[in-house]
Structure 1
């Protein structure tokens, strides 16, 4: 019998309910941390260029423009975090986001959240995300996003994570992902 189980079994019903509710609240907070955008200075290399748009970071690699990257802060015990941005293909050929990595994570993945049989589910996109010519793809909470898997420490609001994005044609670029609050991106603008 685990420590928490022994503790809860000794509590009276109202107290046991309160402990269970706190546990559910912690799980909900962790789920919120996976759904959120960030701004900050950019580091560009090679043919990439960076510009501060006043509303966030905008970087260019090849014919792709990466705008307003950000990550959501995570609770202390979280093992994963989410990252978001907009990617616009200004060229005449399609490209594809095929990978990402960050020093803060054991590995990076590209994910999609979608409603399946009335239930919101997340799945890895092993072939990445297509960015057609002239198209803008938005990575946002509850949709397409990048995942920081097996994070080595919590993502803290006010810090910036260096993230390397890999594209099939445009190549790689290091993008700064500012970390916003745990609840960032939860509400849409009307």
Structure 2
């Protein structure tokens, strides 16, 4: 064998190693895709893109938004929310009746019907983080825990979008008045 043949074998080995490395990394990238989409699964429930808005300095409350899809055959209920960012969390409903806006806590939680989907969004059902210990900042994330009556607890991260503006992530339709700087 000539010496020129040895480097070719070395080059082939490097190419083979590169191909093997790529072959091993590609499937890992496929598994990582759902996590980067910011979705969570708990039993038959799918929690889609938890998010919040940046709050102005001194704000004592922030809103939380997400979707919950129930792929199961029986109803479940979101009964609690908590986060290290606030002293307490509550599940709320906002409605306008005869031109009067009302917001109230849902002490019994929020039902997710079998085969149904509920969107928590500004101006509708939403989460309230009350007694803020830290201000949510655009581009950051903060942890939260959702508790469901049947499925149990799941830890999620809330992505923080611009104060009063449209979320940066898209796919969630209308998200409220751009002049609203209350954080919810």
TM-score (norm 1): 0.69
1:77 and 2:58 aligned: yes
- Map of 2:102 onto structure 1: 121
Distance 1:146 1:51, change over 3 A: farther
1:154 aligns with 2:140: no
The one of 137, 143, 147 aligned to 2:124: 143
Displacement of 1:155 in angstroms is 1.1
Decide whether the 8 Å contact of 1:51 with 1:57 is kept in 2. Answer: no
Matched, 1:60 2:41: yes
Equivalence map 1:11-22=2 (5 Å): none
In the alignment, is residue 179 of structure 1 matched against residue 165 of structure 2?
no
CA deviation string 1:63-89 (max 9, x = no partner): 100011101110001000001001000
Q: Which runs of 5+ in 1 are unaligned?
A: 1-49
Q: Which runs of 4+ in 1 moved over 6 A?
A: none
Q: Is the 8 A contact 1:158 1:179 kept in 2?
A: yes
Match of 1:130 among 89, 100, 111: 111
Say what the alpha-carbon RMSD is for the aligned residues: 2.0
Instruction: Tell me how far 1:182 sits from its aligned partner.
Output: 0.4
Instruction: Work out the CA distance in 1 between the residues paired with 2:37 and 2:123.
Output: 21
1:91 and 2:77 correspond: no
Task: Using the TM superposition, give the Cα deviation of residue 53 of structure 1 relative to its aligned residue in structure 2, in angstroms.
Answer: 4.3
Measure, in 1, the Cα distance between the counterparts of 2:160 and 2:141: 6
* Structure 2 counterpart of 1:111, from 74, 78, 92: 92
Decide whether the 8 Å contact of 1:52 with 1:58 is kept in 2. Answer: no
Alignment partners' CA distance in 1, 2:46 and 2:35? 16
1:185 Cα deviation from its structure 2 partner: 3.7
Q: Deviations over 1:104-157 (max 9, x none)?
A: 100000001101331111110111100010000000011000000000121111
The aligned counterpart of 2:20 is: none
| Aligned counterparts of 1:54 and 1:163: Cα–Cα separation in 2 | 16
Partner of 1:164: 145
Partner SS for 2:123? coil
Query: Match of 2:95, SS?
Result: strand
